[in-house]
Amino acid sequence: MKVLITGGRGTIGSKLGPALEGDYELRLLSRQEMEGDDWWQVDVTDIEAVHEAMAGMDAVIHLAIATGHEGDYEDDAFNSQRLDINVKGTYNVFEAARRAGVKRVIYTSSLTVVWGYTAPDWVDGDAPARPVGTYALTKQMGEQIGHYYATVHGLSVLCLRIPKPIDVDEPETKETPILPQWIAFPDLIEAYRLGLTADKIGYEVVTVVGESSKRRWDLSRAEAVLGYRAQYRLEEMGYTLREEPEGYDQEGVVWGEVQGRKRGELEIES
């Protein structure tokens, strides 16, 4: 199977690409020039470039995003670029996939799409969206684009709502308490693997989170649709769970916690 991965240099792409290498014929996209025959320098906001890169592919894993912290310091330019990458870029990926006859698109959504369900509410695996923040809003729009291409054009579309992944091979990740939904990278990578080969996917929204004693996100759909079961329980590996805050920003951080980033800074996972 030939698989195109957007955002190949990003947090997830930099782990997923090497994990799939050898099992799939990969084409990795990045906004920046990279060495290697598998890499294509492509900006997802350029539909012709995306279309060219899509030729001959069987499946797409769409990871390219623009993140950043929301709040009253966001300006029009900040959100305009975010919308370009997260919404226009996602449309371009789906449209290019349609033109190229790609069979399946895995769209990387986010748990922030349902941040409006605050603790202790139970959150179904395909719960109706309650986005918090402009980042979450763009991810919801991406889900809607996927639904359109599945229902109107017949693409097989899987939307994975995911939390922050944890690199369990890095000891320093244990130094700071984590939220109960965060997921070990091997579990997340397995979800993508399963998504590439799962049967009977027309349009599916599936939540994939880590397993913990405080989990309130339903995993039954992930098991039914993908056959997914979390293998890692981070709190049994030396990680400490912290209580969920009453309010989140778009990356699951307490309102106002900028965590060392400049206000209004935009990060592009390419």
| Catalytic residue positions, numbered | 135
Measured CA to CA, the distance from residue 74 to residue 25 in angstroms comes to: 40
Q: What is the dihedral of CA 187, 109, 247, 251, to 10 degrees?
A: 70
Contacts 24+ apart (CB under 8 A), 144-147: 145/87, 145/90, 145/91, 145/94, 145/107, 146/90, 146/94, 146/105, 146/107, 146/203, 147/203
Q: What is the dihedral of CA 135, 174, 19, 162, to 10 degrees?
A: -30
**98, 153 Cβ separation under 8 angstroms:** yes
Q: Which helix (H) or strand (E) holds 205?
A: strand 203-207
Amino acid of residue 145: I
Region at 225 (left for phi over 0; alpha for psi -120 to 50; beta for the rest): alpha
Measured in degrees and rounded to the nearest 5, phi and psi for residue 83 equal -65, -40
